[in-house]
């Protein structure tokens, strides 16, 4: 096979980045002034701001406000080429990445940042009948489905509540934020015509297991205040097209099961024959390089850095991916200059989870006091959460537009855009 990109005409080192998530784009940004030629490979031509996908799914934000095209992201970085495609193999000796279309991309330095995929933990029927919330396609698919179900419930006068019932599986940040947003959606988009029933199912004895017990209890209280039914110490045994069976023997009839209970590393690591750790992640050295391969890094959700005995693994959160990306860009620049790579150190900036509009919980580490954190809730925590997310959004336009939309919707209790657009069988969109 011939290479899709010949050897760099400039004679500069070629850096190939697989995956346009937080880790990948931050690695590239860190190399903006380096004497390298970069190719980023992703199956999509855009970067997705995953923490806000649930707001797309519940119609509070349009997709374009939580996504940015890669060519726009890197429009001022002249050493970057965007290649839309799916990496399926690597020729380690020949130093080329093979794409699904049969073409290859050569590299001198390779960064594997392919992220993660949904993990259904083998629950029967869950993969076929639930709506995960990890990609932009997931969010748009759930958004259209929810609006369809609301319309079906509005015209159904029977006692069957399956069309207006939503089961959210998982009491972590994704599940909590989705459940809270669905409760808000019930008020803002439906206007009382349909009483949306939201049920949150969590197998642990409390919500937000990675937060303090205090924050978990506050979240439980606030969600219940908004009408969310919460089932703790309960798991889903199976799912089908008409509902779910729970571990306590209860059955809930619904056409909408939102999966927020877990992810696993991208299968690319297994396909490449690499050493795997927890959740199928790729084992890497403390400096984030593959063992025995000094010019290959694996970062973000796909990576599992070696840690001292007894140390906790790094959290699978956006700040960790961002920091690993920046670290990797710096290390490639060091290696080019003949300097040794340095180990990665994660700086914990705290954790936040939004419960609903104007309500959240936040825990921020206190400098110099190991294991101690400053905890806040309610509007101050929500304002902090909103500010952090605005800062991390890619692209000034996205930040400004999202901020103004949030302020508008918050002030007027507006639901934003619950517009249902159906596609006809011929692929054309029906006129409203």
Looking at the fold, whether 142 and 227 belong to one and the same domain comes out as: yes
Is the pLDDT at 414 greater than 60? The verdict is no
The whole-number pLDDT of residue 385 equals 84
Looking at the fold, whether 234 and 380 belong to one and the same domain comes out as: yes
- Looking at residue 224, which CATH number applies to its domain? 3.50.50.100
The residues, any chain, with a CB within 8 Å of residue 109's CB and separated by 6 or more, are 13, 14, 15, 16, 36, 295, 296, 297, 332, 335
The residues, any chain, with a CB within 8 Å of residue 280's CB and separated by 6 or more, are 264, 265, 266, 267, 269, 270
Over residues 15-37, mean pLDDT: 96
Kindly report the three-state secondary structure assignment for every residue of 321-335.
Answer: HHHHHHHHHHHHHHH
Position 285 in a domain: yes
Over residues 421-432, mean pLDDT: 50
pLDDT tens by residue, 319-350: 999 999 999 999 999 999 999 999 999 999 89
Structure tokens that stand for 390 in this block: 């605005």
- Measured between alpha carbons, how far is residue 245 from residues 49, 166, 173, 240, 262 in Å? 33, 14, 23, 9, 19
The whole-number pLDDT of residue 412 equals 57
Number of residues that this document lists for the chain:
432
Position 63 in a domain: no
Instruction: Identify the band that residue 411 occupies on the pLDDT scale cut at 50, 70 and 90.
Output: low
Looking at the fold, whether 307 and 242 belong to one and the same domain comes out as: no
The whole-number pLDDT of residue 23 equals 97
Instruction: Identify the band that residue 160 occupies on the pLDDT scale cut at 50, 70 and 90.
Output: confident
Instruction: Identify the band that residue 145 occupies on the pLDDT scale cut at 50, 70 and 90.
Output: very high
Is the pLDDT at 432 greater than 50? The verdict is no
Angle at 61 between CA 59 and CA 65, to 5 degrees: 150
Residue range of the domain that includes 378: 126-260+358-412
- Measured between alpha carbons, how far is residue 274 from residues 296, 304, 359 in Å? 12, 12, 43
Looking at the fold, whether 168 and 255 belong to one and the same domain comes out as: yes
Map residue 51 onto helix, strand or coil.
Answer: helix
User: Which is more confident, 141 or 388?
Assistant: 141
Looking at the fold, whether 276 and 324 belong to one and the same domain comes out as: yes
Position 244 in a domain: yes
CB atoms within 10 A of CB 373: 17
- Looking at residue 34, which CATH number applies to its domain? 3.50.50.60
Rounded to two decimals, the pTM is 0.89
Position 111 in a domain: yes
Instruction: Identify the band that residue 195 occupies on the pLDDT scale cut at 50, 70 and 90.
Output: confident
For residues 282 and 264, give the distance between their C-alpha atoms in angstroms, rounded to a whole number: 11
Looking at the fold, whether 317 and 204 belong to one and the same domain comes out as: no
What rounded mean pLDDT belongs to the chain?
89
Position 366 in a domain: yes
Over residues 90-112, mean pLDDT: 98
Over residues 166-177, mean pLDDT: 96
**Percent helix / strand / coil, the chain, rounded to 5:** 35, 25, 40
Position 7 in a domain: no
The whole-number pLDDT of residue 330 equals 98
Max CA distance (Å), the chain? 73
Structure tokens that stand for 114 in this block: 């392919």
Q: Of the listed 30, 149, 177, 202, which one is catalytic? A: 177
Structure tokens that stand for 142 in this block: 């759930």
Instruction: Identify the band that residue 185 occupies on the pLDDT scale cut at 50, 70 and 90.
Output: confident
Is the pLDDT at 2 greater than 70? The verdict is no
pLDDT tens by residue, 198-240: 999 999 999 999 999 999 999 999 999 999 999 999 999 999 9
Instruction: Identify the band that residue 5 occupies on the pLDDT scale cut at 50, 70 and 90.
Output: very low
pLDDT above 70 as % of the chain: 87
Looking at the fold, whether 113 and 131 belong to one and the same domain comes out as: no
Looking at the fold, whether 245 and 374 belong to one and the same domain comes out as: yes
Is the pLDDT at 3 greater than 50? The verdict is no
Looking at the fold, whether 224 and 162 belong to one and the same domain comes out as: yes
Looking at the fold, whether 89 and 181 belong to one and the same domain comes out as: no
Angle at 133 between CA 70 and CA 68, to 5 degrees: 15
The residues, any chain, with a CB within 8 Å of residue 13's CB and separated by 6 or more, are 35, 36, 37, 108, 109, 336
Structural domains of the chain, count:
2
pLDDT tens by residue, 362-386: 999 887 777 788 999 999 998 888 8
Looking at the fold, whether 211 and 275 belong to one and the same domain comes out as: no
For residues 380 and 146, give the distance between their C-alpha atoms in angstroms, rounded to a whole number: 30
Position 352 in a domain: no
- What is the phi/psi pair of residue 368, to 5°? 80, 0
pLDDT tens by residue, 33-88: 999 999 999 999 999 999 989 999 998 888 888 888 999 999 999 999 999 999 99
User: Which is more confident, 385 or 252?
Assistant: 252
- What is the phi/psi pair of residue 283, to 5°? -75, 130
Looking at the fold, whether 159 and 253 belong to one and the same domain comes out as: yes
Catalytic-residue membership of 177: yes
Position 406 in a domain: yes
Q: Are 412 and 188 in contact (CB under 8 A)?
A: no
User: DSSP labels for 190-253?
Assistant: TTTSS--EEEEE-SSSSS-TTS-HHHHHHHHHHHHHTT-EEE-S--EEEEETTEEEETTS-EEE
Structure tokens that stand for 45 in this block: 């031509």
């Amino acid at each position: 096979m011939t290479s899709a990109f010949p050897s760099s005409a400039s004679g500069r080192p070629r850096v190939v980045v697989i995956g346009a998530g937080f880790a990948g784009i931050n690695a590239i940004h860190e190399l903006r002034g380096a004497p390298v030629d970069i190719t980023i490979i992703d199956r999509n031509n855009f970067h997705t701001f995953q923490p806000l996908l649930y707001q797309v799914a519940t119609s509070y934000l349009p997709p374009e406000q939580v996504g940015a095209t890669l060519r726009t992201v890197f429009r001022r970085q002249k050493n970057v080429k965007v290649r839309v495609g799916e990496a399926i193999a690597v020729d380690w000796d020949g130093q080329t990445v093979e794409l699904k279309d049969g073409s290859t991309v050569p590299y001198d330095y390779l960064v594997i940042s392919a992220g993660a995929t949904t993990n259904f933990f083998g629950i029967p029927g869950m993969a076929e009948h639930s709506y995960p919330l990890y990609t932009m396609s997931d969010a748009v698919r759930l958004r259209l489905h929810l609006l369809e179900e609301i319309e079906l419930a509005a015209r159904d006068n029977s006692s069957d509540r399956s069309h207006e019932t939503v089961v959210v599986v998982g009491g972590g940040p994704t599940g909590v934020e989705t459940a809270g947003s669905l409760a808000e959606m019930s008020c803002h988009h439906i206007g009382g015509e349909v009483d949306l029933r939201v049920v949150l199912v969590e197998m642990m004895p409390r919500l937000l297991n990675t937060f303090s017990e205090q924050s978990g209890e506050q979240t439980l209280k606030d969600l219940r205040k908004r009408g969310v039914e919460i089932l703790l110490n309960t798991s889903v045994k199976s799912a089908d097209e008409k509902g779910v069976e729970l571990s306590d023997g209860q059955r809930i009839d619904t056409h909408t099961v939102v999966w927020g209970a877990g992810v696993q590393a991208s299968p690319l690591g297994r396909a490449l024959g690499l050493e795997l750790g927890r959740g199928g992640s790729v084992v890497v050295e403390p400096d984030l390089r593959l063992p025995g391969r000094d010019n290959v890094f694996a970062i973000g959700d796909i990576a599992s850095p070696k840690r001292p005995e007894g140390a906790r693994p790094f959290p699978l959160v956006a700040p960790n991916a961002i920091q690993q990306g920046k670290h990797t860009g710096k290390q490639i620049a060091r290696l080019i200059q003949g300097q040794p790579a340095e180990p990665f150190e994660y700086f914990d900036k705290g954790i936040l989870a939004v419960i609903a509009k104007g309500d959240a919980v936040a825990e921020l580490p206190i400098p110099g006091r190991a294991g101690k954190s400053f905890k806040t809730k309610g509007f101050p925590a929500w304002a902090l959460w909103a500010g952090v997310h605005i800062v991390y959004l890619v692209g000034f336009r996205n930040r400004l537009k999202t901020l103004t939309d949030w302020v508008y919707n918050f002030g007027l209790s507006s639901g934003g855009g619950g517009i249902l657009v159906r596609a006809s069988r011929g692929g054309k969109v029906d006129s409203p």
